[in-house]
């Protein structure tokens, strides 16, 4: 009997060791320790033994059974822990790892440049004026003293709006000058930035481009003021206090005299070649860059908006922004600015 108990015990221990699931353990538990299990079988067969043997064997059987019941409970706990380990392996997370930043993007180079210009001119007292992208012929041309036969009005240059007579995608930001003067009295100091449109499309022209217009009108405003404002602005824009400007005569119907504003090349600093002697490709070695059209507001334009042209004078300028952005960020193809290729955009 004693050895039978020992055998049952070692059988159960061995089987428990091999058991891999709750149900296997439960099975063993029932078979060995259950009501009609192997241990109770032994208990029932005790009745055939002597009193002495009943006591000792019964005691041993009871103790062993209790001992095994504890071991079975331990096995359940072990299996449960193992199951947790599997889950922990699969579903763990390290709360100390820094999070992944969502891609929030950033402003386009041109939008950023526009904001920078608002700050630069804002420091000199210029406010920002706005006008519509779709303009009337009246504001885009007539009021600016551009006669019907002016080349800018040519079908080749201008996007006319179909079925809307006399409406155009503005070819310049200059109509904002007129709109602003009509609504305000001098002194005036404004810039206006935004999209402009012309039927040009090649390596260096896009049908949609950006301009910055400037207008200052008051008593005794002269070309000297224009020179000071342009020079200061360009020095700030290109972050180079050594930048100089020069004026050449030119023609725009809404200014008199009309000027072309050049600035010293921000790449070669007006030398025509870089510090290590390489010929400057940006300015084609001449040391100057054409940067804006400008001039003193034509008396006829002032009269068109009801100003007294004997009392007031003013200057205006208009510059293309896209090429300036390209120069500032060393971008060598215009189309990169408008293709929105992430490989390009994410560099800034």
Task: Decide: is 209 part of the binding site for ligand PHE (CB under 6 A).
Answer: no
Counting contacts by CB under 6 A, is residue 255 touching ligand PHE?
A: yes
CB of 341 to ligand PHE, least distance (A): 28
Query: Based on CB atoms, which residue is closest to ligand PHE, 301 or 331?
Result: 301
Reading the block at residue 337, the tokens are 């600015």
Taking the least distance from each CB to ligand PHE, the nearer of 114 and 294 is 294
Mark the segment that binds ligand PHE (CB under 6 A) among 33-41, 52-60, 126-134, 313-321: 313-321
Please classify residue 293 by burial: count the beta carbons closer than 10 Å to its beta carbon, then call 0-12 exposed, 13-18 middle and 19+ buried: buried
- Least distance CB 154 / ligand PHE (angstroms): 14
By CB under 6 A, tell whether 190 contacts ligand PHE.
Answer: no
Q: Name which of 195, 185, 215 is nearest 131 in CA terms.
A: 195
Residue 313 in the binding site for ligand PHE (CB under 6 A): no
Residue 172 binding ligand PHE, by CB under 6 A: yes
**How much is the CA Rg of the chain, to the nearest whole Å?**
45
DSSP state letters, 75-113: HHHHHHHHHHHHHHHHH---TTSPPPPP------HHHHH
274: which DSSP letter?
-
State the residue for tokens 């039927």: 199
Q: Does 174 bind ligand PHE (CB under 6 A)?
A: yes
Least spacing, CB of residue 138 vs ligand PHE, in Å: 16
Residue whose beta carbon is closest to ligand PHE: 318
Number of neighbours of residue 52 by Cβ within 10 angstroms? 8
Nearer to ligand PHE by Cβ, of 270 and 295: the residue is 295
Per-residue x/- track, 118-157, ligand PHE (CB under 6 A): ----------------------------------------
8 contact partners, CB below 8 Å, separation of at least 6: 32, 38, 39, 42, 64
Q: How many residues bind ligand PHE (CB under 6 A)?
A: 10
Q: Which helix (H) or strand (E) holds 218?
A: strand 208-218
316 binds ligand PHE (CB under 6 A): yes
Among 131, 266, 270, 318, binds ligand PHE (CB under 6 A): 318
Query: What are the helix (H) ranges across the chain?
Result: 2-18, 22-28, 38-45, 51-91, 109-123, 137-140, 175-183, 223-237, 299-304, 321-329, 336-339, 342-345
Compute the least distance from the CB of residue 347 to ligand PHE, in Å.
30
Which residue from 139, 252, 307, 312 is in contact with ligand PHE, where contact means CB under 6 A? 252
Q: Is the dihedral of CA 189, 191, 197, 200 positive or negative?
A: positive
Residues 272-311, one symbol each (x = binds ligand PHE by CB under 6 A, - = not), give: ---------------------xxx----------------
Smallest gap from residue 103 Cβ to ligand PHE (A): 37
Cα–Cα distance for residue pair 318/176, rounded to 1 Å:
11
Q: Which stretch binds ligand PHE (CB under 6 A): 30-38, 41-49, 314-322, 325-333?
A: 314-322
What is the rounded distance in angstroms from the CA atom of residue 32 to the CA atom of residue 68?
9
Query: Whose Cβ is closer to ligand PHE: residue 32's or residue 121's?
Result: 121
Q: Which is nearer to ligand PHE, 131 or 295 (CB)?
A: 295
Shortest CA distance to 29 belongs to which of 63, 69, 70?
Answer: 69
Q: Helix 38-45 to helix 2-18 angle, to the nearest 10 degrees?
A: 170
The Cα 134–Cα 319 span in angstroms is: 19
Is residue 226 close enough to count as binding ligand PHE by CB under 6 A? no
Q: Report the interface residues with ligand PHE, using CB under 6 A.
A: 172, 174, 252, 255, 293-295, 316-318
């Amino acid at each position: 009997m004693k050895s039978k108990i020992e055998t049952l015990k070692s059988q159960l221990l061995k089987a428990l060791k091999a058991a891999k699931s709750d149900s296997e353990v439960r099975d063993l538990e029932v078979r060995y320790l259950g009501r009609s299990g192997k241990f109770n079988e032994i208990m029932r067969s005790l009745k055939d033994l002597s009193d002495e043997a009943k006591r000792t064997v019964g005691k041993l059987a009871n103790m062993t059974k209790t001992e095994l019941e504890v071991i079975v409970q331990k096995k359940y706990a072990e299996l449960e822990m193992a199951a947790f380990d599997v889950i922990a392996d699969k579903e763990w997370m390290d709360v100390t790892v820094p999070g992944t930043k969502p891609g929030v993007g950033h402003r386009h180079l041109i939008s950023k440049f526009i904001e920078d210009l608002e700050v630069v001119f804002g420091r000199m007292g210029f406010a920002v004026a706005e006008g519509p992208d779709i303009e009337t012929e009246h504001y885009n041309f007539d009021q600016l003293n551009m006669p019907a036969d002016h080349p800018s009005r040519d079908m080749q240059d201008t996007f006319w709006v179909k079925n809307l007579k006399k409406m155009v995608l503005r070819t310049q930001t200059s109509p904002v000058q007129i709109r602003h003067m009509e609504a305000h009295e001098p002194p005036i100091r404004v810039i206006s930035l935004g999209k402009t449109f012309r039927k040009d499309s090649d390596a260096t022209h896009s049908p949609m481009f950006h301009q910055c217009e400037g207008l200052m009108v008051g008593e005794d405003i002269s070309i000297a003021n224009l020179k000071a404002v342009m020079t200061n602005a360009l020095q700030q824009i290109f972050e180079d206090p050594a930048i100089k400007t020069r004026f050449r005569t030119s023609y725009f119907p809404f200014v008199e005299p009309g000027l072309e504003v050049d600035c010293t090349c921000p790449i070669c600093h007006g030398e025509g070649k870089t510090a290590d002697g390489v010929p400057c490709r940006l300015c084609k070695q001449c040391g100057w860059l054409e940067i804006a059209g400008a001039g003193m507001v034509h008396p006829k334009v002032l009269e068109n908006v009801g100003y007294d042209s004997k009392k007031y004078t003013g200057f205006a300028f208009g510059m293309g922004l896209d090429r300036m952005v390209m120069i500032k960020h060393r971008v060598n193809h215009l189309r990169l600015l408008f293709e929105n290729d992430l490989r390009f955009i994410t560099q800034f």
